[in-house]
Chains A and B, each alone.
Chain A
């Protein structure tokens, strides 16, 4: 079996006759200047993100960018140092228990009780969710091909992640939050997992917020992306829009090396362009520039080439932006 295509799902992961979804507001999740400090270190520093109903929101960032801290705050596991969380229309400093009951959560690592099997775990977790749907859980175990009676300690990493997903989906949550769900999985399992999430969103309109540092997952599944770097949200918007907005501008000929003014680029005189990154390649200066896609239709500036970039390059430009004075 080829690994560059996702294996087909055994059958639909969505309930063919789903129960009525609770009324979900248009804005499912919004953070207002969300902050979390560990001493002097600002892990999350004034985050404002918005997730709308039915979106698959990819939360992209390097390791240590603040993704997990943000998600732990959204889940009410840790308290924000500042700012507020607006979840399903309710706005508060910390996520309440009743709000938490409307979120399905899959963490990066699964710390199940090793002596519990899938059935036991489902029974245990069901006690904390008033909306728990046992039939849905049973169905998910079946379609995800999960053994009911095997101890969790005897499950593979991929199976544990799928079991966590089944547990997260069984209460029919208004919002599904996944923290780097594919890290540690092999490529086939990664693809399978992303397909399941996509399938859920398409079939069920499930609002999903997932963090990752894998560009291909964003490219494949997300229709909205938030890029976080050093605790700050650097970009939020559509994935296609992002790809169309960012271009690489390169000098055709190398210039006098004594000229080091980073702002000396073809778009320095306008407010409509934002330089994300400046670098040098074989004596020629390069800029990663963001602008409205419409502006890129014009002719290239004299002495420069303008080329589109892959999403990965765009992300690297955002993630490794270190200022413009280092070239």
Chain B
């Protein structure tokens, strides 16, 4: 009986299964190519994350063939008339589909594992962990679409509503839907977590698979199959119109409800407080220095909000932290509360307000834009504006012409030249500025801020203050509610279009202007640029013993010969979060170095287990540039 049914299904859907296999092969090839090309992914195992979505599409098509086609053609009535239990038909369809998706899953997993094995080591536990996460997620998506197949004509509306509901949940609440529950299995640390089993997520996924199976069976069998038969009928014109109206209504509601779930206002006691324009700043603990910082910050950030047309900014909370280095600023996390929080050691004699203001401008813009300004192709504007505003407000002479190469901004031009030599010289292609984070990893964000600053002052010099301000208002000051309207607006009006709208320039005309200014500066400051040092060093892992799986980091560092202006050299290293190569400031380890001539060989005595990824760079503050320079962030894996 089962064999007869299976033979029928294979005969009916054989060609579709073959085509699906072929499509998956193409999908796998594309995923491998994409992940292999982009260092952002960090591991070839990220291919499996992309494959989850390919397999979900496979499940949609497969379930449509197995379930929807059967009910749409009403051939289930033919089966019902045979001496064949309904449960057998259901089980054959479910497990045949699961077997096919499972077969694709195992094949894809095997191929990706084989390719990754050339660069990574695999323990049995790691393989089992990866397969459990990957396989269970794929099973869940198959179960979801199999169940949806019984919804027949309403399944697309159901998919639409589910997607809108998930986006709404993710966007309008603090709940990170796509990093929770089953999604947690294949997001975040998926390719890198080798030991910890996400038991809760695995259990929840297993339960959901069971629930979906039961719901599918209920739909298939309720009212003796009448419900599924009715739902399987072709959709009428009236139903279609009704569903479109419902979906548009749901989408419109989602767009309109753009306000986040209101958070409790955060407050702090024992704090110096100051307000200016749309900005309130509180600095704790209270002291004269704290009050002065609060006053200065309120005025400078307030002026920024006026300049950019920002009507409202969350309150700013600064906490003094004496254990931090003078140039180390940490972001504070306000759980379920509204506000911008930062920690700094403003009592340190080497602490500089201009650097802190630069940092806080970035934090304020990030908060105002709900994180939107973090979009890489336009991040040069953010980097540049933070430096621009900090020096514009807190510089020695606010009236100085930034294009004056001999003036107070000479060090910023040197930063720009130093940075452009590290990445793109001359700066002629749009992709140079649209791959800003790659540039940041090579030069450090203080240096790329100099490059961005040079772009902004070049623009200001070309178009004048009014258009310059209009452009910044359009890019940094605009309202960016945390919903889909901002995405639509960004797609409709990318940065270049805003540039053209505000200044009548596009990138093809603006980049040569910017480049001319850099060339002019290079010609004038070539001697100074030549004296700027380059940091070079290397870091590797050595086993602590022959039998050990623990490693120690060993590094070599040679102080550059022209290191007279360098201060506080350090090795910075830490484990990156998820698949980003960057390490949050608070997670960075600092190992002091010496600037004595000769090569330093030293060890970081810390246990690293196989498979751990570590980002590192050598860094030192350069007095003339007024910021740290780095050797460039490197990501290595303990092997």
Contacts and interface: CB of A to CB of B under 8 A. Distances in A.
A275 B5 CA distance: 54
B83 A77 contact: no
Contact of A77 (B1, B7, B73, B81): B81
Nearest to B85: A97
Interface stretch (A125-133, A184-192, A248-256, A264-272): A125-133
Contacts of A299: none
Contact of A112 (B4, B5, B78): B78
A78 B222 CA distance: 11
Contacts of B348: none
A75 interface: yes
B4 A105 contact: no
Given A113-B12, A115-B12, A124-B8, A75 B81 contact: yes
Given A101-B83, A114-B73, A129-B83, A77 B224 contact: yes
A109 B85 CA distance: 20
Contacts of B7: 124, 127
B75 A124 contact: no
A127 B77 contact: no
Contacts of B78: 110-113
Does more than half of chain A's interface fall in helix, strand or loop, or is it mixed? loop
B12 A127 contact: no
Contacts of B81: 75, 77, 105, 107
B607 interface: no
Contact of A128 (B11, B73, B82): B82
B75 A113 contact: yes
Contacts of A109: 77
B504 interface: no
State the majority secondary structure of interface residues on B.
Answer: helix
Contact of A127 (B1, B73, B75): B1
Interface string B211-228: 000000000000010000
A38 to B, nearest CB: 9
Q: Which of B7, B74, B81, B82 has the most CB of A within 10 A?
A: B81
Interface in A232-272: none
B484 to A, nearest CB: 42
Interface string B460-497: 00000000000000000000000000000000000000
B547 interface: no
A97 B83 contact: yes
B96 to A, nearest CB: 16
Contact of B77 (A98, A111, A125, A128): A111
B335 interface: no
Interface in B1-38: 1, 3-5, 7-8, 11-12
A78 B85 CA distance: 12
21 contacts: A75-B81, A97-B85, A100-B82, A101-B83, A105-B81, A107-B77, A110-B78, A111-B74, A111-B76, A113-B73, A113-B78, A114-B73, A115-B12, A120-B11, A124-B4, A124-B7, A127-B1, A127-B7, A128-B4, A128-B83, A128-B84
Interface residues of A, number: 23
Interface string A85-123: 000000000000110110001010111111100001000
B80 interface: yes
Nearest to B80: A77
Contacts of B82: 100, 125, 128
A297 B103 CA distance: 81
Contacts of A100: 82-83
A97 B12 CA distance: 25
A170 to B, nearest CB: 13
Contacts of B8: 113, 124
Nearest to A115: B12
A151 interface: no
Interface string B44-86: 0000000000000000000000000000011111101111110
B75 A112 contact: yes
A128 B1 contact: yes
A79 interface: yes
A248 B1 CA distance: 56
Nearest to B76: A111
Given A97-B85, A111-B77, A78 B12 contact: no
Interface of B: 1, 3-5, 7-8, 11-12, 73-78, 80-85, 224
Interface of A: 75, 77-79, 97-98, 100-101, 105, 107, 109-115, 120, 124-125, 127-129
A105 B82 CA distance: 8
Contacts of B73: 111, 113-114
A128 B84 CA distance: 7
A98 B5 CA distance: 18
Given A100-B82, A100-B83, 18 more contacts: A78-B224, A101-B83, A111-B73, A111-B74, A111-B75, A113-B75, A114-B73, A115-B12, A120-B11, A124-B4, A124-B7, A125-B82, A127-B3, A127-B4, A127-B7, A128-B1, A128-B82, A128-B83
A114 B84 CA distance: 20
A66 to B, nearest CB: 16
A129 B85 CA distance: 13
Contacts of B4: 124, 127-128
A292 B12 CA distance: 59
Contacts of B80: 77
Nearest to B2: A127
Nearest to A72: B224
A322 B8 CA distance: 50
A147 B235 CA distance: 34
Nearest to A77: B80
B70 to A, nearest CB: 9
A111 to B, nearest CB: 4
A314 B142 CA distance: 58
B241 to A, nearest CB: 29
B636 to A, nearest CB: 57
A64 B425 CA distance: 85
Contacts of B74: 111
Contacts of B83: 97-98, 100-101, 128-129
What 5 A-B pairs come out closest when comparing CB atoms?
Answer: A127-B4, A100-B83, A111-B78, A78-B224, A111-B77
For B3, B5, B7, B78, the residue with the greatest tally of chain A CB atoms inside 10 Å of its CB is: B78
Nearest to B73: A114
B65 to A, nearest CB: 13
B210 to A, nearest CB: 26
B356 to A, nearest CB: 73
Contacts of A101: 83
A100 B83 CA distance: 5
A307 to B, nearest CB: 44
A115 B5 CA distance: 15
A77 B224 CA distance: 7
Contacts of B11: 120
A79 B12 contact: no
A217 to B, nearest CB: 22
Contacts of B76: 111
A105 B12 CA distance: 24
A115 B84 CA distance: 21
Most buried by B among A97, A110, A114: A97
Nearest to A97: B83
Contacts of A98: 83
Contacts of B75: 111-113
Contacts of A105: 81
Contact of A79 (B77, B84, B224): B224
Contacts of A125: 82
